[in-house]
Amino acid sequence: MTGTMHCEGRWNLDDLILMKTGPGLERALSVLDDAASTVESWRGKLNGALPTKAFAILVRDVERQAHAAAVLDGFSYLWFSEQTNNADALALRQRVDSRLADVRNRTLFVEHWWKALDDDAARRLLPAAGDAAYHFESLRRFAPYTLSEPAERAINIKDVNGIHGIATIYDMMESGFTFSLSIDGETKTLTRSEVMVFARDPDPAKRAAAYAALLQAFIANKDVLAQLYKYTVSDWVEENVKLRGMTSPIAARNLGNDVPDAAVDALLEVCRENASVYHRFFRLKARWIGVDCLRRCDIYAPLEPVVREYSFDDAVRLVRRVFGDFHPKLADLAERVFEAGHVDSQPRPGKDAGAFCYSVVPDKVPWVCVNFNGRVQDVSSLVHELGHAVHGQLAAEHSVLTWHSPLPLAETASNFAQMLLLQGLLTIDRDSAFRRYLLARYVDESYAAILRQAFFALFERDAHRMVKEESATADQLAACYLDNLRSQFGSSVDVPDEFRWEWLMVGHIYHSPFYCYAYPFGHLLVLALYQQYEREGASFVPKYLRILEQGGSKAPLAILDEAGFDVRTKAFWQGGFDVISGMIDELERLGS
């Protein structure tokens, strides 16, 4: 561990663009335009007889354009997320979105040519793409659903002020909300991340007050937020199902993820079938905290007031330790994120209320956003996002077109890091009450990552159908969500009527429809991986690192097949729930 003291603070974006306005920004825009012009120069030269050497040069030109676009896109997103109420940041975000759409339209002919190429010509040229080969293979998957070049251009232009604009408005509204909470006789104005600290408070009155404050703000804006969601759904359905001819709204996401519909259906069905695993846990928790039945606001209640406070420096050192115990390389890569000044950990109004890692381009250390409040869950969020950052750096030898892991594997490193943290904390702190607290907290988190996210995807499936076929109203969507919640919890949790509007708080369903199933996919996968690690020990480490190092250079199922996992079967997914059941068994023993 380095001797550096880590303090909460803001990140530095100078590695991307030295100045937010002025010569640095204009230079970055010029680099993008020059790269696009080079790609444009290929118009009229592309045909089935193109020499392989020429195709290799074209691929490098496409990579240069993709790199320049990613730098601008990443910079504008990160600046906006650190201060969503900053008019200059918003203006740049809009300017960059427009420029990227223009560049994409100028060079769209390359994708169209490649998708329309006959199979023999594509097979001849593909090896010349080198490390970018899987990107070009993936483009051909979309060939049956590709529209004419003018139509694709129109969609790109439409998206800038359409679906992307809707997502930006949602972000501005959500990040601008503040929440009034009365704590110990004092009324405080808090951000969303600060309010969520009290959702896990030992005091049931504070938990109830936290959820009441959250819901009040979103319900007060429900008409606008619900309409934004209906526009999101309509755009997704109109483009992907009606225009492109995909079989269903979720099939569009599955195609992009290169995962068969059947594998996703199996995952969601096993999650639905295993809701009873968490019903058992919630009934045990109700008994442990002395109530007949949990309220919805109690599901993350700690079993007893076992509180550990962490300074930010303590949290960083703990995270580095658990990474290093697994393999020193992971600890070193995590430390690089701090050394680069790429962590924004300070809660503040206007900042994105969540946590994320943004791996912008392979030659830059990823950026990490968290809102650190000193609790165990904040340490868990930090290790989760640093797991993403480690993943990005391990895959950084790949092309800018193939280094990002496919969505089904995007949560592998982050969830595995949380398992390492759990085991590290259990080893460091032998207090039996804290052990029970940690295990219960992990089951809490597994619920949030597996069952809750799977039921979001199930809600989305229903909501997209309702908007598409029935022109559903906001109230009808809310009723559907309430049915979803009551199916999810059964009789183990009392769900008040106002939670019918909770879906308005789920940013992923606005930004990336059906993204949410990546979480149960990744979490259940990691439980299987961790089981293998416990069986094999050190011999498992290089195989795990190899999964991460492959990034997005192969199909996700190909990567998993190599590692010996068949995710096409319900039995595979059931194994993850069996691990959770085992944890609940241990909790029962500790609580008896």
- CATH classification of the domain holding 83: 1.20.140.70
- The owner of tokens 């997704």 is 236
pLDDT of residue 59: 98
Nearest to 106 by CA among 53, 54, 35: 35
Q: Which residues of the chain have pLDDT under 50?
A: 1
Beta strands 179-183 and 186-190 are antiparallel
104's tokens? 């994409």
Phi, psi of 343 (to 5 degrees): -120, 130
SS3 content of the chain, % helix, strand, coil (to 5): 70, 5, 25
Tally of structural domains, the chain: 2
CA of residue 65 relative to chain centroid, distance: 25
Q: 3-state DSSP call for residue 369?
A: strand
pLDDT of residue 1: 44
341 found inside a domain: no
388 found inside a domain: no
360 found inside a domain: no
pLDDT of residue 3: 60
242 found inside a domain: no
Is residue 398 within 8 Å of 362, Cβ to Cβ? yes
Residue at which a domain ends, from 160, 185, 212: 160
- The owner of tokens 């960083």 is 316
**Angle in degrees, 0-180, between the axes of helices 108-116 and 133-141, rounded to the nearest 10:** 70
Identify whether residues 146 and 285 lie together within a single domain: no
355 found inside a domain: no
What single DSSP character describes residue 240?
I
Identify whether residues 129 and 254 lie together within a single domain: no
462 found inside a domain: yes
What single DSSP character describes residue 429?
-
Identify whether residues 439 and 564 lie together within a single domain: yes
**Distance (Å, whole) CA 315 – CA 374:** 8
Q: 3-state DSSP call for residue 181?
A: strand
Identify whether residues 265 and 146 lie together within a single domain: no
Residue at which a domain ends, from 102, 127, 160: 160
CATH number for position 436:
1.10.1370.20
Residue at which a domain ends, from 132, 160, 188: 160
Domain extent, residue 91, equals: 23-160
Identify whether residues 151 and 257 lie together within a single domain: no
436 found inside a domain: yes
Identify whether residues 448 and 562 lie together within a single domain: yes
Amino acid at 589: R
396 found inside a domain: no
**Distance (Å, whole) CA 435 – CA 425:** 8
**Distance (Å, whole) CA 422 – CA 514:** 28
- The owner of tokens 């940041």 is 89
**Distance (Å, whole) CA 134 – CA 125:** 13
pLDDT tens track for 138-149:
999 999 999 999
